[in-house]
Amino acid sequence: MRRDGRMANSLLAVVSRDWIGAPVALAVAAAGGGLLAVGAPWSVALAGLALAVGVLLEVGAVRHLVLVAREARAHPPPGRLVDVGGHRMHVLAEGRAGAGPTVVWMPGGHAPGEDLRELHTMLSAQARSVLVDRPGTGWSDVGPFPRTTAAEAAELPAALEAAGERAPFVFVGHSFGGLLVANVARRRPDLVAGLVLLDPTPLEVIAFAPPNGQLAALRRGVLLMAVRQLFGAHRGPGGRTGPGCAAASIFAELSPSGLAQVGWDTVVYDGDLGDLPLVLVVPRDLIGGEAVLAGARDAVEAERISRFYLRSRVRYLAASTASRLVYTPAGTGHDFPHEAPEFVVGVVGDLVRELPVISP
């Protein structure tokens, strides 16, 4: 398993390089040339096919590079690119640094900080607010493989320090981003004034939930998107291949076998956060998540599945003795940061105001 994982991450590291499509296409065309030299009827037919495929891939690879360059010119980084262990991470900080802590946002999935730009902009009117692109997302470099929550929990504080942002911080994380910031808080309590977890990913759901192919399908989807883009099959602007490869790498944790390898380094257990102020914000029900009930064999199992997910949802309350639970507005689901941004900014602002004033 671990050897297979190393091979997979080596392949992802190669595919994440936007220029790699061109030499791959040339290799396919060269193979066609080699077959043509054989001279047999079957080899001539295969050679023609390989040459045609190689030319098409080369055209697509060049198109990809042109689109990526065009997108980079059209959308330069709005923040700073800082060095973190030999690769660059993008940090956008806005708002006045006053007597309260700085708020750092981390979106769900393996999304760039830009995903929470609306919340960041709203909060920056009243406090210092920071968006950070994980490696492989937004304007950040891909960074080394494998991508792991443990590695990114070290990279995030390093990026903040390199950007000149001063602790203490209030980290706000949604879904998979909640798992990341909880890991930062466990490792670096000296930097953290408080934590707001927006329906964070509970790893019990990965380890013990009923069979669900959604996460595996998500990983396959982002990887397929990266390969398509590498050869010019874009579904929009010139996106890089790195984001899909980085996501495919880190999503390997989100399986029972992947979690078995990283669990001790990645799970935030009961009491791990001491008395850190922690606000857990979750929906009351499974609105938007009905797909998890689709495989239930009967009403009894559906009730059990629902109970499992709803109770797993609040497990982070046990991580700190100073935690509290806040429910999202009625009718909102897991995507409530986008459905009710004013509510989320209000919750975060309330915690910032409650925390002690920072001495200059």
Q: What is the pLDDT along the chain (360 residues), one digit of tens a residue?
A: 466 678 889 999 999 999 999 999 999 999 988 887 777 887 888 988 999 999 999 999 999 999 999 999 999 999 999 999 999 999 999 999 887 899 999 999 999 999 999 999 999 999 999 999 999 999 999 999 999 999 999 999 999 999 999 999 999 999 999 999 999 999 999 999 999 999 999 988 888 888 777 777 888 888 888 999 999 888 777 678 988 999 999 999 988 889 999 999 999 999 999 999 999 999 999 887 777 777 788 999 889 989 999 999 999 999 999 999 999 999 999 999 999 999 999 999 999 999 987 655
First-last CA distance in the chain: 51
CA distance 253 to 260: 8
Domains and CATH numbers, the chain: 80-214+245-354 (3.40.50.1820)
Q: What is the CB-side half-sphere exposure of residue 328 using CA atoms within 13 A?
A: 28
> Per the structure block, which two tokens stand in for 63?
């198109």
CA distance 145 to 143: 7
Residue 358: is it exposed, middle or buried by C-beta count within 10 angstroms (0-12/13-18/19+)?
middle
Q: Rounded to whole angstroms, what are the CA distances from 44 to 33, 40, 52, 211? A: 9, 6, 12, 48
Phi, psi for 106 (deg, rounded to 5): -140, 115
Length of the chain: 360
The predicted pLDDT at position 1 comes to: 47
Q: Which residues pair with 84 in a beta bridge?
A: 87
Torsion of CA 260, 266, 268, 273, to 10 degrees: 150
The predicted pLDDT at position 148 comes to: 96
**Does the model's pTM come out above 0.85?**
yes
Instruction: Please say whether the beta carbons of 270 and 318 come within 8 A.
Output: yes
The predicted pLDDT at position 42 comes to: 79
Most distant CA pair in the chain, distance:
82
User: Residues with Cβ < 8 Å from 208, sequence gap 6 or more?
Assistant: 308
